[in-house]
Amino acid sequence: MDRRPAGGSHDRNGLHLLPDHRGRDIRPQAPTHVLVMPKVHIGSLAESVDERLAGRLLFVAAEIARKEKLENGWRLIVNTGAHGGQEVPHLHLHVVGGKKLGRMLPQTS
């Protein structure tokens, strides 16, 4: 099954120095559902990840949220491993927003 982000990827000035890809999720879970992923292959967050690259991924995610005008809030999701719901064997972050999001996990007493 092809799970590459819809719409491809794009760079802007400066991003080529710290590589990343961005694209819309092919099965969006909210009005805004953008993927952020490194160009270099990293299977998941369980693998060793360079601190600078990890910071860059977070920075780009926040930048996308600002550009998408998600000022009422947004969620950043990183699925890791089978129990974490990871379906694609490449590290990627989901920037999700554009509507009120429900609880991520069921409330426990």
pLDDT, tens digit (0-9, with 9 covering 90-100), for 66-106:
999 999 999 999 999 999 999 999 999 999 999 999 998 88
User: Between the ranges 14-18, 21-25, 48-52, where is the mean pLDDT highest?
Assistant: 48-52
Residue ranges making up the domain that contains 62: 15-97
| Helix, strand or coil, per DSSP, at residue 59 | helix
In a domain, 102, yes or no: no
Half-sphere exposure of 94 (CA within 13 A, CB side): 21
Say if strands 32-37 and 21-24 run parallel, antiparallel, or are unpaired: antiparallel
Q: How many domains in the chain? A: 1
Note the residue count of the chain: 109
Tell me the catalytic residues.
Answer: 92
In a domain, 71, yes or no: yes
pLDDT in tens, 29-80: 899 999 998 888 899 999 988 898 899 999 999 999 999 999 999 999 999 9
pTM of the model: 0.77
